Amino acid sequence: MANVTVIGAQWGDEGKGKIVDWLASRADVVVRFQGGHNAGHTLVVGDQTYKLSLLPSGIVRGTLSVIGNGVVLDPWHLRDEIKKLSDQGVKMTPDTLQIAETCPLILPFHRDLDGLREDASGAGKIGTTRRGIGPAYEDKVGRRAIRVCDLAHLDDLGPLVDRLCAHHDALRAGFGEPPIDRQRLIDDLKEIAPTVLPYAKPVWWTLNEARLRGDRILFEGAQGVLLDVDHGTYPFVTSSNTIAGTAAGGSGLGPNAAGFVLGIVKAYTTRVGAGPFPTELTDETGERLGVRGHEFGTVTGRKRRCGWFDAVLVRQAAAVSGITGIALTKLDVLDGFDELRICTGYRIDGRTFDYLPPHAREQAQVEPIYETIEGWSQSTAGARSWAELPAQAIKYIRRVEELIRCPVALVSTSPEREDTILVRDPFAD
């Protein structure tokens, strides 16, 4: 049986939570491999709604859930999320949750720096969530991060704290902030260590043993390909690589473990925060999409910008991430439109492009080239088979497949787990 890697193929918020939950019920292990608690997944199981941002989605069903080394971990947020889920009846033990010993920690001064920089950026703001994700990744590559394994050796932390303070105190002084309180930092780490350490494991070993047993491993990405630090709409991106290839480095398994790469794609397009958005609709239609799709960020609560489906960007995301098939979500939001539009190309200063150029000036000048498709009046909400879909809805799906050069594997027609049309089983490949 194949492993499956799930990634967002737009700017995040594509509905990964439901799809991962649907797949997690058939997986033996679920793995988060990048990002932090800056991306939210909403799971609807029966009459319960779970909002996750750091914990892998499999935790709700008791599936072994792993936070890989590619994640940056806020231990205080972890504590709060564990408590929130425990209050909802989800119990976590070291048998159901493992955290890589090599995960870098997000510390209070990372959050401070994130906010200070954003506030001072003026027109250069990039819409960070202010949760310290970027500064924590900077310390990781700067070789000064405090990691999960360090929580078991706090008495040896002095030289590492020296390196951290040498870097951060200079930055804080530039913003008129006092230096890091070293003793408070150590005290805070001593206080939170007992919460984290029971879950700390060599997860690369766990995952390699699972692979040798033939277990089905589900890799759960955060954000979306268009927010990838290399392949996204830079600088309006996240601080990690969100493409499927990161599942290998961010978990401790080789690249051949990724298996079937499932790209989650909304039937239209949304984006939270600043940055280019060629098909954005600021009119009544955009408002209608937002209201019907309940487009507010799980983590930030910010209203999402909405627009028509951009086949150019999804095709680009599929190419750079090696997507095998897509899961098309929120098809029901398009019910009742007389006409639908799909972006098939861009025009910039009279030139035609079939990809999004990387420079901000060109991106700002993009004029989308649209193809118009007849809509449908019938409801697709809750459909669980092709036979329940209107003919025009099927025509829309088939046209999307053609334009993005990637087949549809699943179609989601509501937030409910079972309201899913299975076209191709990712775990059977």
Burial 78-96 (b: 16+ CB within 10 A, else e): beebbeebeeeebebeeeb
pLDDT of residue 356: 95
What's the pLDDT score for residue 299? 58
- With tokens 């994640």, the residue in question is 71
pLDDT at 380: 95
Q: Is pLDDT at 294 greater than 70 in this prediction?
A: yes
pTM of the prediction? 0.93
Q: Would you say residue 300 has pLDDT above 80?
A: no
Q: Catalytic: which of 21, 37, 41, 139?
A: 41
3-state helix, strand, coil in the chain (%, to 5): 40, 20, 40
Catalytic, 110? Answer no
Over the stretch 89-111, which tens digit does the pLDDT of each residue have? 998 999 999 999 999 999 999 99
Q: How confident is the model at residue 386 (pLDDT cuts 50, 70, 90)?
A: very high
User: Is residue 127 over pLDDT 80?
Assistant: no
Query: What pLDDT is stored for residue 115 in this prediction?
Result: 86
> What is the residue-wise DSSP string for 117-161?
HHHH-GGG-----SSSHHHHHHHHHTT---BGGGGG-GGG-HHHH
**Chain segment 46-77, per-residue pLDDT in tens:** 778 888 889 998 898 889 999 999 999 999 99
Bridge pairing between strands 41-45 and 48-52: antiparallel
Q: Is the pLDDT of residue 186 over 80?
A: yes
At residue 87, the pLDDT reads 94
Per-residue pLDDT tens digits for 227-261 = 999 999 999 999 999 999 999 999 999 888 899 99
Q: How far apart are CA 372 and CA 124, in angstroms?
A: 36
So what's the pLDDT on residue 297? 65
13 is catalytic: yes
Position 83 pLDDT exceeds 90: yes
And the tokens for 400? Answer: 């999307």
| Region of residue 311 (left: phi > 0; alpha: psi -120 to 50; beta: else) | alpha
- Above 90 in pLDDT, residue 303? no
Given a cut of 60, whether residue 308 has pLDDT beyond it is yes
Give the residues across from 346 on adjacent strands: 353, 368
What confidence score (pLDDT) does residue 298 get?
58
What pLDDT is attached to residue 346? 98
If one compares 310 and 60, the residue with the highest pLDDT of the two is 310
> Across all residues in the chain, what is the average pLDDT?
93
pLDDT confidence of 122, banded at 50, 70, 90?
confident
Q: Which two tokens stand for residue 86?
A: 């425990």
- Contact (Cβ atoms closer than 8 angstroms) between residue 400 and residue 411: no
Q: Which of 13, 74, 112, 310 is catalytic?
A: 13
Whether 1 has a pLDDT exceeding 70, the answer reads no
Q: What amino acid is encoded at 334 in this protein?
A: L
**Share above pLDDT 70 across residues of the chain, in percent, rounded to a whole number:** 98
Lookup: tokens for 214: 């033939």
Evaluate if residue 398 carries a pLDDT over 60: yes
Q: For residue 32, what pLDDT band results from cuts at 50, 70 and 90?
A: very high
**φ and ψ at residue 227, rounded to 5 degrees:** -105, 5
- Find residue 368's DSSP bridge partners: 346
Tens-place pLDDT, residues 348-364: 999 999 999 999 889 98
